Amino acid sequence: KAGVTQTPRYLIKTRGQQVTLSCSPISGHRSVSWYQQTPGQGLQFLFEYFSETQRNKGNFPGRFSGRQFSNSRSEMNVSTLELGDSALYLCASSLRVRDTEAFFGQGTRLTVV
């Protein structure tokens, strides 16, 4: 069974631009969550989707948004990029809506210059 696939693996963007990251969950998994990892703040929850509905949202500005499609694939978008948005963005896939293992992809390394 294929794991969680995140694309692209690496991105370099300029301040002020926007970026879209993609995540394909494990087949059959309907829950997708996104996390940001930085050296200073560690791993922080961005948002969670289940069956195309956002169920939880972390404490991030409105520039960070996401969506989930009917095939459970998810995208997250960051608009008006700032230098501080440079991070590893990780996507996790889960089978059930709660109390279940979360399996992570390899991440997208975003560098904002």
Partner 1 sequence: SQQGEEDPQALSIQEGENATMNCSYKTSINNLQWYRQNSGRGLVHLILIRSNEREKHSGRLRVTLDTSKKSSSLLITASRAADTASYFCATDAENAGNMLTFGGGTRLMVKP
Determine, following the binding rule CB under 8 A, whether residue 48 of this chain makes contact with partner 1. Answer: yes
Shortest Cβ distance from residue 40 to partner 1 (Å)?
Answer: 11
Q: How far apart are CA 52 and CA 25, in angstroms?
A: 13
Check residue 50 for interaction with partner 1 (CB under 8 A): yes
Is residue 42 a contact point for partner 1 (CB under 8 A)?
yes
Binders of partner 1 in range 54-93 (CB under 8 A): 55-56, 58-59, 88, 90, 92
11 binds partner 1 (CB under 8 A): no
**What are the φ and ψ backbone dihedral angles of 74, each rounded to 5 degrees?**
-130, 150
Does 109 bind partner 1 (CB under 8 A)? Our answer is yes
Residue with tokens 């293992």: 101
Does 45 contact partner 1 by CB under 8 A? yes
Residue 100 engages partner 1 in binding (rule: CB under 8 A): yes
- Residue 66's DSSP bridge partners are 76
